[in-house]
Amino acid sequence: MSFFSYQTLKKILFNFDPETAHTIAGLGLRTVAHCPTIMRLIKERYFVDDTMLHQTFFGRTFKNPVGLGAGFDKNGQYITAMPTLGFGFTEVGTVTPKPQDGNPKPRLFRLTDDDSLQNAMGFNNKGSHYMIQRLKKLYFLDYPVGINIGKNKVTPENEALNDYETLFKAFKDYGDYIVINISSPNTPGLRDLQNENFIKAIFDMAKEITSQPVFLKIAPDMEAEDAITLCKVAVEAGAAGIIATNTTIDYSVTDSPLKQNFGGISGALLTEKSYQLFKAIGKELYGKTMLISVGGIDSAEEAYRRIKAGASLVQVYSMLVYRGPELIKEINEGLIKLLKQDGYTHISEAIGADWTNEK
């Protein structure tokens, strides 16, 4: 099965700068999507389909709880290929109303010794119209897709709601859920929108426009108390759930000579920081809203830790770059073993176990 060896491919891709490597990998995924026989063979190798992991949310079946995090598929070009890599769902974007180039290059860096990435991409994407055209082609695809949305860089903070209004209207009939991204560190002023007034306003507006489940994605760099308060405000205002967390701008997490003094860090360096904040949120909000955990998830054990802290679903991105689709298979197969070890017959029994066991 050397043909399918990601580690062989990784050696080739890591000879290129990260953004070029991403483009090459994306071209490969788009090619595979047009080759049904190859797709079937790869999916048979990586996709774990076990009823212990099946869950239904928003009227859609998630055959396993491991999804692709936003940022990898900014323009919805790889959706068809994602089940092939083992993912139970995918999240596209971040998409903005108008196309934009993002920040100047270089803007994506490998912190190889830390199994991490640092990015300052800046919501580079082809805009909402292009994304809609991609989604229209997926009408018969039975696979859960989330849409991550953000404001354009040139949009002033006091006009940000207008951008989100445009996006809610654009995607109200597409995808299975929408994610409000106000937690990326790479768009000036975006994280300033993580305040109660804006959160109330944006969810009030969303309810008037779309019946889609709308999630809030938060940054890992807030104090737990502030994050919990913000999440509670979002839920009370109508949020379907919380996604925690985005990348960190805490550069003290590594002494790597490869790190930059800008952009957000993801991957293994984010693992503990992301978990600790998610755990705090889970303790307060498990059972009151849906929770999705993302940030440095690199094993079945780590995914299970997030699930027991309240996560119904988890997402992976940076660790995919280092470990490939074998990681997704390992997580899902490992989750089944861990569930059985704890005497569970279905993943739903383990979700929030840290808190239900306290009662």
Determine whether the annotation assigns residue 119 to a binding site.
yes
Alpha carbon distance 305, 301 (integer Å): 6
Query: Quick check: 318 and 294 in contact, CB under 8 A?
Result: no
Annotated ligand binding at 70? The verdict is: yes
Q: Known binder of ligand: residue 329?
A: no
Angle (CA) 345-314-221 rounded to 5° is 140
296 labelled binding-site residue: yes
Q: 297, 313, 298, 325: which is closest to 352 by C-alpha? A: 313
Distance, in Å, from the CA atom of 224 to the CA atom of 227, rounded to the nearest integer, reads 5
17: exposed, middle or buried (Cβ count in 10 Å: 0-12, 13-18, 19+): middle
DSSP 8-state symbol, 181: E
Q: Is 120 annotated as a binding residue?
A: yes
Active site residue 183: no
Residues 94, 69: Cα–Cα separation, whole Å: 10
Is 245 annotated as belonging to a binding site?
yes
Has 267 been labeled as part of a binding site? yes
- Is 197 assigned to a binding site? no
Give CA–CA dist 178/172, Å, rounded.
9
Would the annotation count 317 as a binding residue?
A: yes
Yes or no: say if 69 and 187 are a contact pair by the CB < 8 Å rule.
no
User: Is 310 annotated in some ligand binding site?
Assistant: no
C-alpha neighbours within 13 Å on the C-beta side of residue 252: 3
Active-site residue, from 116, 128, 184, 256: 184
Say if residue 64 carries a ligand binding annotation.
no
- Does the annotation place 226 within a ligand binding site? no
Question: Residue 28's CB: how many other CB atoms inside 10 A?
Answer: 14
148 is in an annotated binding site: yes
Nearby residues of 174 by Cβ (< 8 Å), 6 or more positions away: 132, 135, 136, 147
Whole-angstrom distance between the N-terminal and C-terminal Cα of the chain?
48
- Nearest of 251, 209, 257, 229 to residue 112 by alpha carbon: 257
**72 assigned to a ligand binding site:** yes
> Cα 297 vs. chain centroid, distance in angstroms?
11
d(C-alpha 47, C-alpha 26), whole Å: 19
As a whole number of angstroms, the distance between CA 146 and CA 152 comes to 19
- Report whether 73 belongs to an annotated binding site: yes
**Which residues are known binding-site members for substrate?**
74, 119-123, 181, 186, 246-247
Annotated binding-site residue numbers for FMN: 70-74, 94, 148, 181, 217, 245, 267, 296, 317-318
Which residues define the annotated binding site? 70-74, 94, 119-123, 148, 181, 186, 217, 245-247, 267, 296, 317-318
Q: Which residues are identified as catalytic?
A: 184
